[in-house]
Structure 1
């Protein structure tokens, strides 16, 4: 026993030393890459050597720790079935979350030094920190720091599935805050830049962190066939998201393709793309080993395949660490297209986009502005629905899922996405359709969650209240200053869209949660109350003389549809039409269709 204990201690010591050595190598690589990408940038030179070299190191540590936090929480919350394995992973997640907090605090200090040109340790360092924290960059850096600290606190509260999933959500919010601090390229590509960055960080976090924590488990948990197969499918989704978002993000940060040969920043991005292809090859080899080595009856060949799988996983982790170091170097250096000139006109200053042409039929059909977030969300919906471990789905449900994904892309990347920036009618219609079309379709498929059924408990008033919650909150978002914030900021814009989508889903699920034996009037009330609220909101838009977000929609400089209040009345008419059509669909009896619950 003593000999075994000594071996275990030496193994742990060797592992810690190997991790520290790897971190030192990656940090040094990040510093060298950042120096090459930055060149003689005067802003970075003014920040002093500590901030100039410390920023990529802090970013590397923060990104690696954040990935371990997010990926570990996702694996423990959705894949692991053994409580002991979950406890072990959440311990690692708690430590990683603490490291993330410290590293992000350090990054905030270095970012302040770079932004103000005050070297760390100089007499004036920190003198105008409050001013910096009031900027967009400072707000998001501070928000990420606070959420990371909250994530650390929650991670040490227990080891239940609920704790793990809560930590995963909080870690996702930390990633969201980090994405909002990224370089946004030119003004017209700000939203694309931040959305692709968010998708990129979420994907790499789940992939890298999930793979890392699996290697820390004992053989029983690490080689669990269901866990490994589930993670393999998740990693494939992340690889696709990484590839698409990475190429898109790099494209909007370039001025022209020739910068592949002239810009060190772009060359770092190309190096990351090459690493991604190498990782794809390793992933293909791993999936082959999974097929061979995770059968029901382990044999010599299967044991060899499992050992090969583990070695490939370690190599994959090393290459992903290298990619994170390159990404940290890029985040600490200005991209070639950092400085953008707003499009001409009032609309260009407000929205960052040129004023679209007058909305005629052919013009509207040709108006498209791809949105990475909506596209990624639609892809995730489809891939999760048809994951390998998913039960067999009824054809009707699958068709509704595909329809909701298609409509989501059309609403977030199509004509309404273009005109919603300058027309209140398009803005209202976009969010109303996200609720009544996409959200309602999502709520109509699958089983009603057991927790929602327990919360409602067959009480008609509880179901009606929850059915009203989504529309009521969306209306509140429109009549409060939050609408102006959502128009001006990409984060609040995405939040408002998700509010509409989730609100519609909750409404349908709440109605479906009523028992099939409930009186007809209760079921009609649950369906009719949200529709009645929608009719009231549409009538208010039609009759009021108060323009919503007047400082925005009344100041876009449109030469067509110049009367913003009249356009708001159009929004009211559109809302009434959508609600009436939805009412016809929702209130018609459906004989022979039973609600699914589970």
Structure 2
């Protein structure tokens, strides 16, 4: 095509469909007031402003600086956290190594510095707001120091400030995706700390509220921050088809996380279906409808933009314009969802967030005491964990999606492995949300059932599913130097640390010895008393069980597997250790964590020490069956290995005329001849 052909009759450059997007952020400028209007309309509909200007009518006014400064500091804090998380996540998972990663880390450092200052200001203003103590009041400083040193909430807010400062320093010092991923753990810790101070911190739904709030904050921060960072580090260089496509996938998961966690938080406040006819219930219905519509429209628009960005006819200016259009739609969706969320937060829920006349079980565990366990209730009672339930659903979707991807390109994947993965994830969901989780908080024996299932049953299914092998086959390698799930998993598997942890002897020691360290140190109490400790327990036992089972019968890459006789030795050694551990608990008379299991006030079931001894029998009995299954698996693998070796030897003999056997017979004949000559 000549330059003349590329112009229309007016002499101006032809405007192709691919180049129709604006090259400036006008779409985003239009979307911002639209999002604000949606939020304002939701607030008005909910009557959120009915008492907003009389909040201090019956209390001492802490002053205009606190009144106006606290909300501003909160907004700045949340935005700076989002940019910090988004920058570190993009540097670790999305951007190609080089200048863009360096820019993202620089943005993360600056944002974390702003986060530190804003969080410090927020701490001071929030203290003044909660105590109605003006900033210039006599004794404000000493009282504030007492607040951050003796009060749990104050210590938490001060800890967030410290974490933010350390994040700022590390983000400016580290380089590359590894440094970004390492630093990313810090703001996630801060979000976890913030979640523990959120809704219903002392209510019976504490753990559910904490997990939902963490998922909500993390998803929103990554969603908003990722979009902002692409714009901040340079749209012209960062808005490439690969980067936008990767961010789009992350944004979709973030939207789902925000939607699910928001609805769960609202359900905690509504309690039952008959409360849907209240003002709060109507807003909840509106929020669900908006989430479905906006999520669907956002996904359709995003896929269209990504496809057009990947088109070879799309010019660079058109790509920039498409990014701004994508950003505008994302901001619109965020604004609409946030508006309804704010309206919900400003409306009195049907269920009070305060717990009156708490039972001993609620005081100790944060949950009502479940009914006496029966066989049916082990499968009908649930204690929901939003993070782990969401992770289980995501694991099913991702694994099945990878198998579908393989089949579409003509590659086979054994159906049995897919079934094994689905069974393993379903059992994991039951162990972390079903009867094992419900009764594991109040019965040591039930906790031991949960432990054994996490460490010995779930890993057996997951190992048979070979997820790492599927990942390597289904996910293409990246060519631009960035690191996706494939690159990170293979880097970990082939690293010195990964090989050490996956070594069969190390895995066996962690698998068996970890129980002693866990149950006879404060780690057990930490896992019972804190949500973070509980998550660590689930992750630790499942991962250690996977490493051990994979070293024995797995096909995934990683460990340097020993010979089959040594595998059986390791297996039976761990079986003996489990038996020893079970006998020690069965015959023990000292109650583990007595301030927990001894103060629940259960009107049913055996005493705490009798239940603990029963838990020892569970550890001894339940642990034997998976171990025997592993032994059968090792024996089968051994037999198949011998059969494969025999077939390989036969094929080699057919190719070379059994040259190896002929050479061996010739050697024997030569030695016999030498012997005959010597004797002669």
Q: Name the TM tier (shorter chain).
A: 0.7 to 0.9
- Residue of structure 2 in register with 1:5 after alignment: none
Moved more, 350-359 or 91-100: 350-359
Q: Structure 1 residue 359 and structure 2 residue 400: aligned?
A: no
Task: Tell me the CA shift for residue 313 of structure 1.
Answer: 1.3
Moved more, 127-136 or 41-50: 41-50
- Residue of structure 1 in register with 2:388 after alignment: 374
- Residue of structure 2 in register with 1:101 after alignment: 116
The question of whether the paired residues in 2 share the 8 Å contact of 1:233 and 1:387 is answered with no
Q: Structure 1 residue 582 and structure 2 residue 596: aligned?
A: no
Give the secondary structure class of the aligned counterpart of 2:395: helix
Give the secondary structure class of the aligned counterpart of 2:582: helix
Task: Tell me the CA shift for residue 51 of structure 1.
Answer: 3.0
In 1, distance between residues paired with 2:187 and 2:243? 21
Q: Show CA shifts across 1:311-343 (max 9, x none).
A: 231442365368668878988999775642256
Task: Tell me the CA shift for residue 510 of structure 1.
Answer: 5.7
Task: Tell me the CA shift for residue 385 of structure 1.
Answer: 3.7
The question of whether the paired residues in 1 share the 8 Å contact of 2:266 and 2:284 is answered with no
Task: Report the CA distance shift for 1:514/1:167 in structure 2 as closer, same or farther (over 3 A).
Answer: closer
Task: Tell me the CA shift for residue 381 of structure 1.
Answer: 2.3
Task: Tell me the CA shift for residue 390 of structure 1.
Answer: 10
Give the secondary structure class of the aligned counterpart of 2:382: coil
- The aligned runs of 1:75-474 (5 Å cut-off) are 75-133=90-148, 134-184=150-200, 187-218=203-234, 221-254=237-270, 274=290, 277-278=293-294, 280-295=296-311, 297-299=312-314, 304=318, 307-317=321-331, 320=334, 337=351, 339-342=353-356, 345-385=359-399, 392=406, 395-442=415-462, 445=466, 446-447=468-469, 449-455=490-496, 463-469=504-510, 471-474=512-515
In 2, distance between residues paired with 1:60 and 1:48? 20
- Residue of structure 1 in register with 2:77 after alignment: 62
Q: Structure 1 residue 566 and structure 2 residue 610: aligned?
A: yes
Larger Rg: 2
Task: Report the CA distance shift for 1:382/1:555 in structure 2 as closer, same or farther (over 3 A).
Answer: same
- Residue of structure 2 in register with 1:493 after alignment: 534
Q: Show CA shifts across 1:42-85 (max 9, x none).
A: 69944613333322222211111111111221122112224221
In 2, distance between residues paired with 1:334 and 1:387? 41
In 2, distance between residues paired with 1:407 and 1:362? 16
The question of whether the paired residues in 1 share the 8 Å contact of 2:578 and 2:623 is answered with yes
Q: Structure 1 residue 537 and structure 2 residue 552: aligned?
A: no
- Residue of structure 2 in register with 1:9 after alignment: none
User: Aligned-pair RMSD on alpha carbons?
Assistant: 4.1
Moved more, 320-329 or 284-293: 320-329
In 1, distance between residues paired with 2:289 and 2:297? 13
Task: Report the CA distance shift for 1:344/1:578 in structure 2 as closer, same or farther (over 3 A).
Answer: same
Task: Report the CA distance shift for 1:567/1:246 in structure 2 as closer, same or farther (over 3 A).
Answer: same
In 1, distance between residues paired with 2:142 and 2:339? 31
The question of whether the paired residues in 2 share the 8 Å contact of 1:34 and 1:329 is answered with yes
Q: Structure 1 residue 515 and structure 2 residue 560: aligned?
A: yes
Task: Tell me the CA shift for residue 195 of structure 1.
Answer: 1.0
- Segments of 5+ residues of structure 2 without an aligned counterpart are 1-24, 407-412, 470-488, 643-680
- Normalising by structure 1, we get a TM-score of 0.82
How many equivalent pairs are there?
574
Q: Show CA shifts across 1:160-190 (max 9, x none).
A: 1101111222222122112111112772221
Task: Tell me the CA shift for residue 38 of structure 1.
Answer: 5.3
The question of whether the paired residues in 1 share the 8 Å contact of 2:269 and 2:353 is answered with no
In 2, distance between residues paired with 1:266 and 1:104? 35
The question of whether the paired residues in 2 share the 8 Å contact of 1:272 and 1:326 is answered with no
The question of whether the paired residues in 2 share the 8 Å contact of 1:187 and 1:342 is answered with no
The question of whether the paired residues in 2 share the 8 Å contact of 1:463 and 1:510 is answered with yes
The question of whether the paired residues in 2 share the 8 Å contact of 1:184 and 1:191 is answered with no
